[in-house]
Amino acid sequence: MKRSAPLAAVVGLTLALSVTGCTDPSVSATMKSIDSIGTVSIESKDAIDSANKQYDSLDKELKKEVENYDELKSANKRYDQLLYSEITKEISHSQEILSSYFAQQFDTKEIEAAKTDAQAALDASDTDGYYKVYKALKKADKELDTYIKDEKKKSYSMETYGGDNPFRLEESDLPSEWSFKPITLQSSTHPSWVMSEKKATDLPTYVYFFINQTSREYTYQLNQIPTKAIKVQDEDGKMQTALVNTEVQFTGQFDQVVNVDPNKELNERPAYFFARAKDNAIVLALQNYDGEDHYVLYTSGS
């Protein structure tokens, strides 16, 4: 008959295991999982979730043996802080891109709903919901960003300001002395040079349209109008669409009876200023002088 081990031997073995520091495998795995989190970033979600899941699965006594639990608490807190910051940035970005002229043609219901949910989560300090609202808002923002980027590629002009006239230029944006020349060669009926001159402090700035090397004096006035699309001829002679807000109206300052300018009527047609999308250059767009249905572009760098 086989005899059982003495009680003293069993107790001795238990004490020996305790003294040698034998750790439960589940505790060791949890501690290793916590160590693997490393530096916390937005990409740390899976690692943090895994460590939390392992820790929560331990019973009360084993949880006490997780020596690096404070690191897990710190990681959770840091991750919530990072998500809060990123959500705040995304909400701000949403507001920015929603104000773009191009967003007017986009269905913004999804991004508006995602922005509302994200703000509600922040206001309620709903840390458990942070990740979900962050991903939803980021996805909605990316879709609108892509749409705006694609639409901007279609415009020869660029947005310069926010608000109702996003493609406008202010007087302060224009050069103090104009010297605009066509970006592509035109017929002799077109101005070869549009320049300005300030002759005295008590006189307005005069603008000159040199056609066949002669010009009369004109004054100008800027008017901001609702966004308008015009057809323009680019530097390669191709037709492009430019979105404009800044209309410039020229007025001849001379007696037409005595000092005739045969181009007065053409020069006094509405023209436009805008910033070129590819390089932010200031562009003056004059209606074609040969009767064609597009605008001829003039820049200071021509």
**pLDDT tens series, the chain, 302 aa:** 445 555 444 444 444 444 445 789 999 999 999 999 999 999 999 999 999 999 999 999 999 999 999 999 999 999 999 999 999 999 999 999 999 999 989 999 999 999 999 999 999 999 999 999 999 999 999 999 999 999 999 999 999 998 889 999 999 999 999 999 999 999 999 999 999 999 999 999 999 999 999 999 999 999 999 999 999 999 999 999 999 999 999 999 988 777 789 999 999 999 999 999 999 999 999 999 999 999 999 999 75
Residues 213, 122: one domain? no
Last residue within a domain, chosen from 153, 179, 204: 153
How far apart are the C-alpha atoms of 297 and 180, rounded to whole Å?
A: 9
Same domain, 191 and 225: yes
Domain assignment present for residue 107? The answer is yes
The reply to whether 19 falls in a domain is no
Angle at 192 between CA 167 and CA 298, to 5 degrees: 15
Q: Tell whether 69 and 101 lie within a shared domain.
A: yes
- Residues 83 and 190 grouped into a single domain: no
- Do 196 and 99 fall within a single domain? no
Domain end, chosen from 127, 153, 179, is at 153
Q: Is 66 found in the same domain as 183?
A: no
For 57, the domain range is 25-31+42-153
Number of domains the chain is built from: 2
The answer to the question of residue 287 being in a domain is yes
Domain containing residue 291: CATH number = 2.40.128
- Residue for token digits 């002088």? 289
Q: What is the pTM of this model?
A: 0.74
Does some domain include residue 192?
yes
Which residue reads 């690692």 in tokens? Answer: 47
H or E segment at 221? strand 217-233
Is 48 in the same domain as 125? yes
Question: Does residue 5 lie in a domain region?
Answer: no
User: Quick one: 239 and 288 in the same domain?
Assistant: yes
DSSP 252: E
Does residue 231 lie in a domain region?
A: yes
In a domain, 158, yes or no: no
99 assigned to some structural domain: yes
Evaluate the CA torsion angle 201, 204, 205, 207 in order and state its sign.
negative
Q: For the chain, give me the number of helices (H) and strands (E)?
A: 8, 8
| In contact, 220 and 248? CB cutoff 8 Å | yes
Domain end: 123, 153, 183, which one? 153
